[in-house]
Amino acid sequence: MYLKQFGLTRKPFAITPDTRRFFSGASRGAVLDALLYAITNGEGIVKLVGEVGSGKTMLSRMLGERLPASVDLVYIANPSLTADDILRAIAIELGFDIAQDARRFEVMQQLQSRLIQHHAEQRQVVVFIDEAQAMPLQTLEQIRLLSNLETRDHKLLQMVLFGQPELDRKLADPEIRQLRERITYSLELPPLSSGDVHAYLNFRLQQSGYQGVELFSRSLARRVRRYSQGLIRRINIIADKSLLAAYSEGSSQLRRRHIRLAAQESGLLHSTPRWLYAAASLLLGLTGLTLSQAERVPHPAAQPPSPIVAATPSEQSVSVAPEPAGTTLTEAALPATSKRSGDSDELINRRLR
């Protein structure tokens, strides 16, 4: 819709991962290189953790494309597989039939035979397991047992666990501590910084044919970072809707209001909840009512001064500073002017903004 207005050849911020537009900044290129090294050097089990929308899917696709031709890739997308199911899934992906009533150790024997054959042919097998944090503990334990398949000097099966931060908490379970010790590389995809967001936005625009003046300034990139929390999927959503907002106004430049509107439309605008406004208004309303009641409390009439009596040694002398004329004790301890409930609402709204 907005492609012609901004001189673009394709949508720059589509959320579907496109390896032709892989952004190697923000440690992504370094993580990819580390994964390639671990796999090609037979390092066993590798773990990659990142928040939802941090770019794990893009990285796994890039990794699959860059694997040598001698590596056979098995991709497990269903994290709810049982220990038996994951054995069958790997065996089927490697191209041989498994009897429906085959027992686990039989499947393991067939799998080991096939892997030894691959090794003799100078081939490797690597298994990508997506959403690994959702796997049952028994299945994760089966992964550890699979990592035991090896020759004298080489692992027969490489495995890469892709997961959210919950995966680390699951691996801390004492029941699978042996699996945790088998992980040779633990990698992480951090959120993008403001500088990374600025570089990413301009990179994606250039990859989509943009040749004009800078659309996302550093100031606008900081706003995108604030609303997206540095997660690539959210960055793409906000950037796409920002361009759409500018297009709807007939503007060829992006403004702060376009970023804010895009974040709001995406449910990413972190505003103060309505209940907090209501609670604060009620609190100040009650405070105003208390002050008004305090002002209406009658004060005793002034008494004539008592005669001065010398204090005896057993008495304690207490000095009290005189209060200003016309000022009550309540007024001295609290603000001089009380507000009605409506005024209090206006005050809290101004402060919360």
How would residue 321 be classed by pLDDT, with cut points 50, 70 and 90? Answer: very low
What's the pTM? 0.74
Pick left, alpha or beta for residue 68 (phi over 0 → left; psi -120 to 50 → alpha; otherwise beta).
beta
Q: Is the pLDDT score of 292 beyond 90?
A: no
How would residue 44 be classed by pLDDT, with cut points 50, 70 and 90? Answer: confident
Cα angle for residues 332, 338, 344 (degrees, 5° grid): 135
Q: What is the tens place of the pLDDT at every residue in 232-267?
A: 999 999 999 999 999 999 999 999 999 999 999 999
**Out of 25-39, 113-127, 309-323, least confident range:** 309-323
Which residues contact residue 305 at a Cβ distance below 8 angstroms, ignoring those fewer than 6 apart? none
Q: Is the pLDDT score of 154 beyond 50?
A: yes
Q: Is the pLDDT score of 350 beyond 80?
A: no
Order of strands across the sheet that contains 71-76: 71-76, 124-129, 158-163, 45-50, 183-189
pLDDT, greater one: 18 or 315: 18
| Main-chain dihedrals φ then ψ at residue 73, nearest 5 degrees | -105, 130
Give the residue-averaged pLDDT of 59-69. Answer: 96
Q: Is the pLDDT score of 285 beyond 80?
A: no
pLDDT at site 283: 56
Proportion of the chain above pLDDT 70, given as a percent: 76
Q: Where are the alpha helices (DSSP H) in the chain?
A: 3-6, 28-40, 56-66, 83-93, 104-120, 137-146, 166-171, 177-182, 194-207, 218-228, 232-248, 256-265, 274-296, 329-333, 341-352
What single letter denotes the amino acid at residue 174? Answer: P
Give the residue-averaged pLDDT of 73-78. Answer: 94
In the block, tokens 């001698």 appear at 70
pLDDT at site 137: 94
Distance CA 55, CA 228 (A): 13
In the block, tokens 């993008």 appear at 192
In the block, tokens 């691959």 appear at 118
pLDDT at site 269: 86
Give the residue-averaged pLDDT of 47-69. Answer: 97
C-alpha pair distances (Å), 198 with each of 15, 32, 275: 18, 21, 35
In the block, tokens 């550093």 appear at 218
Count of beta carbons in the 10 Å neighbourhood of residue 312: 6
Which residues contact residue 201 at a Cβ distance below 8 angstroms, ignoring those fewer than 6 apart? 215, 216, 221, 224, 235, 239
Average pLDDT, the chain: 82
Two tokens at 1? Answer: 């819709």
pLDDT at site 333: 36
